[in-house]
Chains A and B, each alone.
Chain A
């Protein structure tokens, strides 16, 4: 399995009166089409590692390779371009823009990328919403949907630009068990049917059971996997 995303001995500290080490010398490789769960207790550095892997944050030491490319010398705009074209995010809270319809939310990354016509964006957004079973909600606003539906819309938005890797931070943390199972199933299918790599941070053992691989992080260091 070829490595699509890799952390090489990354370290991240928060400076301040009392410096805090969030991630401490972590090396992790994610294969193409692999579903990896990062687990660990609260404050162990799971989300911080995910932000580093997702190029939302920059390591103080070490490097992140995306599709073989070293991102350590990238500026803010280059990192933003990587996020736009090759990465997708799903967060614990759906973070859909309240003033836009469901369809418009899914179209946002495509329109920012600007490679497709508005009609093509709309068609792709509808196809993704259909794939995730929420096409009938396309004209509604986020507040009119249930938590599970909103999270599926967030997944559709994360898939809008056909990313290589989907990064999910506690994607079922705010959902009831039925909705959580649904989201878990969706992410699982993405790896199998669409060949996407998925990295998910979770506390949920049931969710983690669906992953190809589980890694545990404690005090910023990987302890298993």
Chain B
């Protein structure tokens, strides 16, 4: 092996210019593979982080994934059963015995949970009216599962606890109705219950629809307004480890019976989209390395042609065909290793430059930086792909060299 390595090295150093051109191709290929893929993966992770941070990791709804089977269906399984004049059981909609379920969810490790009762309501003020989503919350718990408290621009969520008739709403809605802290508004629920509420907090998320359409009151107040005492219709759950959401959701659903949807399940279409985007991205950046591998193929093919006589003499000395093949595969591997090493350094430099690029998108006051993913797997992937490309490029010349028949060459040699 060592002698093969030495012969391979001398071949490459004896044809320095083509070797350097091949090397340059690999360096650029690896660097751009790394820079582009880290940028794309960075944007993907940034997007997922925002999606995960701004949405519940798990939401438990007051509905069942599959409707409960009718008793007749259970009694005559597989039979065609028609039940006439079924009278549905009338009861307020929502999650029953939620305190027990809340206690169970809270007992799970790494889980933070808040009960919510949401429904539509109409907000009335000075002759204006607007449909909104009214959510009843427990402020202390809600703060642990959302970033709402961080989005408050006036007042606080805790003010709801101090003032049972308080309401927290978005700045968009406040601007529309010309409201400020302390303003009193009327809220009418779907059942017709009317109640006066005082503005005790204003939030701004940057999402216009949310800022104009969401209002928060104390859970007890919402239950009274919506006439659903002791009911909630959602558990909002955050996890210490968001990747465990699917498993925990299944566990909660099995225990409570209510439909529990993890962020991954709710965003399956987005995750599929990201997967497709990654495949496209890796295909494009891999093409750079494939192009670079043509340079290696060209260099090694030329070496094989130039060194045919040397190959013949090595084989006449007793070198095996596999020794000769190894020599040329090693040449590809050497270019791949050195090219990868410099390519990774160059790529890391490009990543650093990209990470420092500051942008101010239109309408956004904050300066944002390009998200770059520094994950070691990006570096490993770029290296592995470069080495595979180089070996693939070296394979054909290596095969050709290994098939050189010494007698054919020695007969024609002078």
Taking Cβ atoms with an 8 Å cutoff, the residues of A that contact B are 47, 51, 54, 56-57, 76-77, 80-85, 89, 91-93, 95, 97-100, 108-109, 111-113, 157, 161, 169
Contacts and interface: CB of A to CB of B under 8 A. Distances in A.
B302 interface: no
B11 to A, nearest CB: 7
Interface stretch (B128-136, B212-220, B317-325): B317-325
A112 B407 contact: no
Contact of A93 (B314, B319, B414): B414
A109 B318 contact: yes
Nearest to B323: A112
Contact of A89 (B3, B7, B310, B317): B317
B317 A100 contact: no
14 contacts: A47-B411, A77-B320, A83-B317, A84-B317, A84-B319, A89-B316, A91-B313, A95-B309, A95-B310, A95-B413, A98-B310, A109-B318, A112-B317, A112-B319
Given A99-B10, A99-B14, A108-B3, A84 B410 contact: no
Nearest to A99: B10
A56 B323 contact: no
Interface of chain B: mostly helix, strand, loop or mixed: helix
The residue among B2, B10, B316, B318 with the most chain A CB atoms within 10 A of its own CB is: B318
B309 A111 contact: no
B155 interface: no
The residue among A54, A57, A91, A95 with the most chain B CB atoms within 10 A of its own CB is: A95
Interface of B: 2-3, 7, 10-11, 13-14, 309-310, 313-321, 323, 406-407, 410-411, 413-414
B313 A112 contact: no
Contacts of B10: 97, 99-100
Contact of A80 (B7, B309, B320): B320
Given A56-B407, A57-B407, A97 B316 contact: no
Contacts of B13: 99
Nearest to B1: A114
Given A97-B310, A97-B313, A111-B2, A91 B413 contact: yes
Contacts of B317: 83-84, 89, 108-109, 112, 157
Contacts of B11: 99
Contacts of B323: 112
A54 B10 CA distance: 28
